[in-house]
Each structure stands twice: as structure tokens, then as C-alpha cells.
Amino acid sequence: MQLNRRSLLAAIGAGTAAAALGGCGTGTSTAGSAEGPAEGEITLLTPIYEGADGKTLLEKEILGGFRKKYPDVKVNVDYTTYAQLNEKITTGLAGGLLPDVLMMGVGWIPPFAAKKAIAALPEKFASAHDYEKRVLEPSRYDGKLYALPVVLDTRIVVYRKDHFAEAGIKKTPANWAELRAVAKQLTKNGRTGFDPFSIELRQCWETFLFANGGQLFSADGKKVLFTDARGVEALQFFKDLIADGSAVYAKKTDLGAPTNVQTGKSSMMMTSSALWTQVGQQTPDLLKDDKLGAFVLANRRPAMLQGGTLVTQSASSKHPAAARALVEYLATPESILGAARQRGSVPGLKDLSDSSYVKENKFVGLSLRSMGDACSEGGTAAWMEIREKIKPTLEPAIVGNQSAKDAIAELGRLAEAAIGRM
């Protein structure tokens, strides 16, 4: 039974709230055409370009260029934080005031596209720049393009070259058996060989799942595929490392704190491509002495988890042509290079491999070269719900006695229930 405006009015018996709730589902009412001339006043919601530097970058440089190209469009910027992006989007959607152009994380496109909250982009945007095919996968739903990447963050393994040399290890591990052996060998004197846990457990397990040749969901997003042996093995691998003593869950470091490879407490760790910038600020000597190396995790196949920030367009924009122009402009090489440099992220275009930023930042360079191995989370309309369940459901297998098999099975049940609710 569909609650319409009138029945809610009766239920609540108060004009304002009824109007408020009734307004919830009316996002698509006044959308105009995207084909006309780009003009009008639009709003951009962004969790990036933070601080005075980011503001200068966005409003002076990027939007300055945009204004020259589209003098009839006025852009109002609504800055938020990543942590509160959901709240901003939720309230905006409920109030029928979703910003014309907004930025989202990887994995968010299918849920929003499935509910028609965001509008599809012309396919020609996909070939406007030199994208690696995989880079645009998280931007697609049902074959259509809905978003363009602004900045990417990848999950890679960073290791201490000096620890490796000291232990006489010549090459980086090419599969899990080697990884486990190397980790064990490097574990000594209170130092752990490998720290997979200082990134979000969800993303860590996903990277291992993909490296093990596994998949999260079927192509249509309706079936759970991670419950097979490959998903269980990925989780079991963490348990094996812990049993070996070469990984310790409690020794993970908090976001922004000096990481275990920086302090030398671990010889290898799962980390984000943004670590390079952090090391440059916190422990610049490590870069100067060339002590840090990086490689892409591999078992049955190499896999690098690709996250990041995508720019998309609301389906209810009153000035869709202007919104579309802004989406396009924010994803041009010039715009994304500035954004990537500000936050140490990967600019996801092959055209930019020769830029000085990519050449100087070795983690970003490796990520850009390995884009063919990139995998992304999401892929189902129920992703918003499932993504929240992964860490709390898998953690008991790591800190407690639960078996990897049971934890994965439980996660599978929760994911199926979530998909069933769609």
C-alpha cells in the first residue's frame, strides 16, 4: 500500500508535517530538459575541496574556468564533510531538494540510480578522456553511465624496503602463500610482518576477496556471490596470519595517526594510495631515504580496490543542462589533477600519467599503472545497507572465536535479506 499525501495528512493531522512527508517522494516533479542551453543557478554539494585551499582551488581555479565557458550558470557550493555527506543527502532527498550536482562515494551509484534519484549522463562522456575501462565501472548502473570519477583512492600493500633487505627478501610476494611466509619471516622483536587491519576491515576483506578471484554480487546485483570458498578463504587468511603471530588486530593504527610502516612496527601493510602524502607530512625521511615500496595484492589474480569520489547529477535538477555541464567540467583532467594533488589521491585518467604529481608520488603512480587490476565494491542496489553490515559481521571471526565460514554465511544471509527488501 502506497502512502499518499492525503492519507498521511489524515494520519498526522498536522499540515506542516504532512506537507513535509508528502514531499518526500516528489523528487522528480519539476525536472527540465538536459538538452537546452546551460544556464541558471545550481548547487554543488561536495565533501572534498575542504579548507581555504580547497575553496580557492574549487571556486577560483576550477569554477573560474567553468564560468568563462558557461557565463550564464551560477554555481552555489555547499561544502560538507565525508562523515556528514549521508546526512546531507538523506535530508536533501527527503525534502525534495537534492543539490543539482553532488559527489558520492564508489558503490553509491546503483542504489541512487535504481531509485531514479540521479540522472544518466550521455555515453560520450565515457570516451571524452582516456579512462581505463574499469575506472568507470562504479559509475555505471544497468549499462548506463551515471557519474564521472573526480578523485580515486586505491588500496595497495606498502612495505619497508629496509626490512626486506635486512631479511634478505628480494622480491615482493606474488601470492598468499608467499605473503604469509614473508610476513612470518619478518615478524620479530615486537614487529609484525604484515598489518592488513589499519584500513577499514570491509575494504580490506574485499581486496582479498577480489585477489582470490572472488566476486561480491552477480552482474545484475541480485545474487550474493561472496559466500563461496573464495570469500571464506579471504577471511580465513586473516585468521591464519593472526595465528602465525604475523598480524595483530589490536595493533592497527587509527586514521591519520602515523601508520605501522612509518613507525617500523610492521614491515608491510594494507593502505590507501593517500599514504604517500601523509608520510611526506609526518615522516618525510622515509621518502628521502627511499625506504617505502608498494605492490598490488595478488593471489589468484592481482587486485587493487578502487574507491573514490564521483560526481553525478540529480534527477530533479531544474537546470539539468547546467548541471550536466558542471559534472563534465569537474571531471576534466585539469580539474581532477588539482583535486587529487590537494588530497594525495589518484587522478583516474591515463592522460595524467606524465604529470609531475603522478611522477613524484610513487603510490599514485603504481595505482595509475595498475588500473587494469582495479576492482570496486558495490554493484547492487542494496549496497548502502550491505556495506554497513560487513565490518560488524566479519569482526567476530577476527577478534573472537567464530569461524570464517560462519561469519561469511551470516553476512550472506544479511546481504540476501537486504537485497530481498529492495
Partner 1 sequence: MATTELHAPGAARKSRPGKNGKPVTVGRIALYATLTVVSLLMVVPFVWMVLTSLKTPVEIASQDAGLLPEHWEFGNYLDALKAAPFATYARNSFIIAFSHTLINVVVASMAGYALARIRFRGSEVIFYLFIAALMIPTYTKVLPEFLIVRFMPLAGGNDLFGQGGSGWLDSWWALIVPGAVTPFAVFLFRQFYLDLPVELEEAARLDGLGEFRIYARIMTPQVKPALTTVALLTFESSWNNFLWPLLVTRSDSLRVIQVGLSVFKTENGPQWHFLMAGTTLATLPMVILFLIGQRYFVQGFATAGLK
Partner 2 sequence: MGATSVLKARPAPPSSPAGNPVAKKRAGRVPTGPGRRRQRAGMVMVAPALLHASLWIGLPVVASVVLAFTKYDVLTAPQFVGLDNFRDMMDDAVFRKSIVNTVVYTFFTVPFGMMLGLLVALALHTGLKARGIFRTAVFLPQVTATVAIALVWLWIYNPGNGLLNTLLSFLGIDGPAWLSSTSWAMPSVILVGIWQGIGMKMLIYLAALQNLPKELYEAASVDGASKVRQFFSITLPLLKPATFFVLITSMISAFQSFDQIYILTDGGPANSTTMMTYEIYKSAFREFRVGYACAQSLVLFVLLMGFTLVNRRIMGGTRGHN
Binding site for partner 1 (CB under 8 A): 15-17, 19-21, 23-24, 43, 47-48, 50-53, 76, 78-84, 87-88, 90-91, 94-97, 254-258, 262-263, 272, 274, 277-278, 281-284, 343-344
Q: At what angle do helices 15-22 and 5-12 cross, to 10 degrees?
A: 150
- In the bound complex, what is the minimum distance in angstroms from residue 380's beta carbon to partner 2? 13
- In the bound complex, what is the minimum distance in angstroms from residue 338's beta carbon to partner 2? 29
Strand partners, 75: 42
State the binding partner of 343 from partner 2, partner 1, none, CB within 5 to 8 A by kind: partner 1
Q: Say which residues have a Cβ less than 8 Å from residue 386's Cβ, sequence separation at least 6.
A: 380, 414, 415, 418, 419
Q: How far is CA 335 from CA 61, 151, 311, 344, 347, in A?
A: 8, 10, 12, 14, 10
Residue 333 cell numbers, joined: 583532467
- CB of 85 or CB of 404, closer to partner 1: 85
With CA atoms as reference, report the closest residue to 159 among 190, 127, 196, 133: 196
With CA atoms as reference, report the closest residue to 136 among 331, 325, 270: 331
- CB of 85 or CB of 346, closer to partner 2: 85
State the binding partner of 252 from partner 1, partner 2, none, CB within 5 to 8 A by kind: partner 2
Instruction: Please count the other Cβ atoms lying within 10 Å of the Cβ belonging to residue 398.
Output: 21
- CB of 105 or CB of 302, closer to partner 2: 105
State the binding partner of 81 from partner 2, partner 1, none, CB within 5 to 8 A by kind: partner 1
State the binding partner of 28 from partner 2, partner 1, none, CB within 5 to 8 A by kind: none
The vertex-408 CA angle with 406 and 411, nearest 5°, equals 110
Residue 119 has what DSSP assignment? Answer: P
- In the bound complex, what is the minimum distance in angstroms from residue 130's beta carbon to partner 2? 34
Check: CB of residue 397 under 8 Å from CB of residue 404. yes
Give the separation between CA 328 and CA 340, rounded to whole angstroms: 17
Give the separation between CA 313 and CA 321, rounded to whole angstroms: 10
State the binding partner of 225 from partner 1, partner 2, none, CB within 5 to 8 A by kind: none
- CB of 29 or CB of 127, closer to partner 1: 29
- In the bound complex, what is the minimum distance in angstroms from residue 177's beta carbon to partner 1? 32
State the binding partner of 357 from partner 1, partner 2, none, CB within 5 to 8 A by kind: none
- CB of 259 or CB of 367, closer to partner 2: 259
State the binding partner of 420 from partner 1, partner 2, none, CB within 5 to 8 A by kind: none
- In the bound complex, what is the minimum distance in angstroms from residue 329's beta carbon to partner 1? 20
State the binding partner of 47 from partner 1, partner 2, none, CB within 5 to 8 A by kind: partner 1
- In the bound complex, what is the minimum distance in angstroms from residue 359's beta carbon to partner 1? 21
Site of grid cell 541480485: 222
- In the bound complex, what is the minimum distance in angstroms from residue 110's beta carbon to partner 2? 12
The phi, psi pair for 155, rounded to 5°, reads -110, 115
State the binding partner of 218 from partner 2, partner 1, none, CB within 5 to 8 A by kind: none
- CB of 4 or CB of 91, closer to partner 1: 91
State the binding partner of 281 from partner 2, partner 1, none, CB within 5 to 8 A by kind: partner 1
- In the bound complex, what is the minimum distance in angstroms from residue 243's beta carbon to partner 1? 28
Give the separation between CA 147 and CA 104, rounded to whole angstroms: 9
Burial of 413 from C-beta contacts in 10 A (0-12 / 13-18 / 19+): middle
DSSP helix/strand/coil, 267? strand
End-to-end CA distance of the chain: 15
List contacts with partner 2 (CB under 8 A): 1-4, 8, 11-12, 14, 16-17, 20-21, 24-25, 27, 86-87, 90, 93-94, 111-112, 115-117, 249-254, 257, 263, 265, 384-385, 387-388, 391-392, 395-396, 398-400, 421
Number of residues written out for the chain: 422
- In the bound complex, what is the minimum distance in angstroms from residue 344's beta carbon to partner 1? 7
- CB of 37 or CB of 95, closer to partner 1: 95
- CB of 256 or CB of 420, closer to partner 1: 256
With CA atoms as reference, report the closest residue to 376 among 145, 147, 135: 135
Helix boundaries (H) for 45-187: 51-55, 63-69, 82-94, 109-114, 161-166, 176-186
Distance of CA 119 to the CA centre of its chain: 20
- In the bound complex, what is the minimum distance in angstroms from residue 223's beta carbon to partner 1? 32
